[in-house]
């Protein structure tokens, strides 16, 4: 289980995104917020008590690994599965609160999404407490990452290795010093929230067991689909009969298309998901964990294509604008450089012509030509002809003696 913390000044959008029905979003856990409201109604209530803090709210994404997802979805009893996930989320929020980020003083809503192969949750937290103070958000990103690692270890889930290592080091250090006492009402606030959510009837409990079984099967097939995609790419890359010309076509024959995103500058694979009748995209390095060194022996021209699953996101659009701006600036700079080069070449050509003309007339060079050697050449000629010949030899002799040229 991992946690990612985002900042947001759009409360309505953050709440609406978490509860988006097209993504299977459902309210899973809440605090200081009325149940049964629409995201817009929740946002209006929040904004009525909110101060103009920056950010207005935090958006925390909790994502389960493939192994954790399979483990959770294999729980046969839907009520037991919901209880397990709710305990995990409750423990995570409790850890944040204990680390100084007083989230139980603030309205927050946790929504569960069912639109991907992995179990994940979206948490919206208002940065204004119910009594008008600011959420203590110091180190909230670091705290969230390490809290997720600690809770993962406690509940037998997979944790990010680096985060888990840092959390263990932190716990070891904490054991050697006196901790600041928690506010006297911290436990009371947490228990109040926990009891409130225990009484809620989460709609996922009411779902048909057959539907849940089918979703579990789909999750397993999704994992198998990614494993097969990775296997085929690495297998064909190592196959001695694979050439630059047939690598991509052999992948296509296996139902895999390879593209390069022109803005994220990464390779990704497209594969059709028959279960959901849609195309899935996976980055080769981050999502499939393909050994990219195996592809280095191939010189393949991969077509540029924007990722369909990211093209509509705000972050991708911002990246696109940035890259296009940099590209146009580079083109403008290249044109300017090309124009300057032509002018220099034209100027150099004229200078060579002038030098030839002046030399034929017996005139010395001046300005730029002097700096590049014209005048110096004339001085050397003077020493060769006469005038300062004797004194120059004496000085050369003394310089050689002082510099240690003699005796070798």
Given a cut of 60, whether residue 319 has pLDDT beyond it is yes
Per the domain annotation, does 381 fall within a domain? Answer: no
pLDDT band of 377, cuts 50, 70, 90: very low
pLDDT band of 323, cuts 50, 70, 90: confident
Mean pLDDT to the nearest integer, 287-315: 83
In the prediction, which pLDDT does 14 show? 94
pLDDT band of 381, cuts 50, 70, 90: very low
Name which residue leads in pLDDT, 279 or 222: 279
What residue spans of 175-294 are helical by DSSP H? 186-198, 209-238, 247-253
Residues 196 and 291 in one domain: no
Q: What is the domain extent for residue 289?
A: 212-295
Residues 241 and 346 in one domain: no
Per the domain annotation, does 400 fall within a domain? Answer: no
Residues 121 and 232 in one domain: no
Domain count, the chain: 3
Residues 182 and 230 in one domain: no
Phi, psi of 386 (to 5 degrees): 155, -165
Residues 156 and 62 in one domain: yes
Residues 117 and 11 in one domain: yes
Per-residue model confidence as pLDDT tens digits over 1-53: 999 999 999 999 999 999 988 888 888 888 888 877 889 989 988 988 888 88
Per the domain annotation, does 373 fall within a domain? Answer: no
- pTM given for the model: 0.48
Per the domain annotation, does 312 fall within a domain? Answer: no
In the prediction, which pLDDT does 25 show? 85
Residues 60 and 111 in one domain: yes
pLDDT band of 229, cuts 50, 70, 90: very high
Residues 198 and 217 in one domain: no
Length of the chain counted residue by residue:
408
In the prediction, which pLDDT does 190 show? 57
In the listed set 168, 202, 236, which residue is the last one of a domain according to the structure? 202
pLDDT band of 333, cuts 50, 70, 90: confident
**Residue 227 CA: distances (Å) to CA of 144, 213, 219, 234:** 30, 21, 13, 11
Residues 130 and 220 in one domain: no
pLDDT band of 342, cuts 50, 70, 90: low
Name which residue leads in pLDDT, 331 or 396: 331
Of 36-50, 209-223, 282-296, 374-388, which range is least confident? 374-388
How far is 358 from 368, CA to CA, in rounded Å?
A: 14
In 82-191, where do the E strands start and end? 108-113, 120-126
Residues 16 and 41 in one domain: yes
In the listed set 327, 342, 365, which residue is the last one of a domain according to the structure? 365
Per the domain annotation, does 226 fall within a domain? Answer: yes
Per the domain annotation, does 105 fall within a domain? Answer: yes
CATH number at residue 166: 3.30.930
Per the domain annotation, does 396 fall within a domain? Answer: no
Region of 222 please: left (phi>0), alpha (psi -120 to 50) or beta: alpha
In the prediction, which pLDDT does 37 show? 83
Per-residue model confidence as pLDDT tens digits over 252-285: 999 999 998 888 888 889 998 887 788 888 888 8
Residues 16 and 139 in one domain: yes
Per the domain annotation, does 403 fall within a domain? Answer: no
In the listed set 169, 202, 235, which residue is the last one of a domain according to the structure? 202
In the prediction, which pLDDT does 330 show? 87
Of 111-120, 173-182, 344-353, which range is least confident? 173-182
How far is 255 from 269, CA to CA, in rounded Å?
A: 10
Residues 73 and 92 in one domain: yes
How far is 180 from 291, CA to CA, in rounded Å?
A: 47
């Amino acid at each position: 289980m991992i946690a990612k913390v985002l900042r947001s000044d759009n409360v309505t959008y953050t709440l609406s995104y978490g509860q988006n029905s097209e993504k299977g979003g459902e309210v899973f856990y809440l605090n200081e917020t009325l149940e049964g409201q629409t995201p817009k109604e929740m946002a209006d209530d929040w904004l009525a008590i909110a101060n103009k803090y920056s950010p207005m709210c935090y958006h925390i994404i909790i994502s389960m690994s493939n192994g954790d997802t399979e483990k959770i979805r294999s729980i046969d009893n839907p009520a037991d599965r919901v209880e397990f996930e709710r305990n995990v989320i409750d423990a995570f929020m409790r850890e944040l609160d204990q680390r100084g980020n007083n989230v139980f003083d603030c309205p927050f809503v946790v929504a569960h999404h069912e639109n991907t192969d992995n179990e994940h949750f979206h948490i919206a937290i208002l940065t204004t407490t119910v009594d008008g103070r600011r959420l203590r958000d110091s180190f909230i990103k670091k705290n969230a990452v390490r809290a997720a690692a600690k809770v993962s270890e406690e509940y037998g889930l997979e944790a990010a290795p680096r985060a888990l290592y840092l959390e263990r080091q932190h716990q070891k250090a904490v054991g050697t010093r006196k901790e600041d006492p928690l506010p006297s009402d911290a436990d009371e606030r947490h228990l109040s929230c926990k009891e409130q959510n225990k009484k809620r009837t989460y709609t996922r409990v009411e779902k048909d067991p057959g539907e849940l079984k089918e979703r579990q099967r789909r999750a397993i097939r999704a994992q198998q689909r990614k494993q097969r995609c990775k296997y085929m790419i690495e297998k064909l890359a190592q196959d001695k009969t694979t050439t630059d010309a047939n690598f991509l076509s052999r992948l296509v024959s296996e139902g895999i298309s390879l593209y390069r995103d022109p803005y994220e500058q990464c390779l990704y694979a497209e594969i059709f998901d028959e279960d959901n009748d849609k195309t899935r995209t996976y980055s080769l390095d981050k999502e499939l964990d393909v050994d990219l060194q195996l592809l280095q022996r191939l010189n393949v021209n991969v077509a540029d294509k924007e990722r369909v699953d990211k093209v509509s996101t705000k972050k991708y659009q911002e990246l696109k604008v940035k890259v296009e701006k940099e590209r146009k600036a580079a083109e403008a700079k290249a044109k300017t450089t090309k124009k300057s080069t032509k002018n220099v070449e034209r100027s150099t050509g004229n200078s060579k012509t002038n030098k030839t003309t002046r030399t034929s007339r017996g005139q010395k060079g001046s300005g730029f030509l002097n700096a590049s050697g014209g005048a110096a050449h004339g001085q050397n000629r003077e020493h060769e002809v006469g005038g300062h010949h004797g004194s120059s030899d004496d000085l050369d002799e003394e310089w050689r003696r002082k510099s240690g040229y003699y005796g070798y």
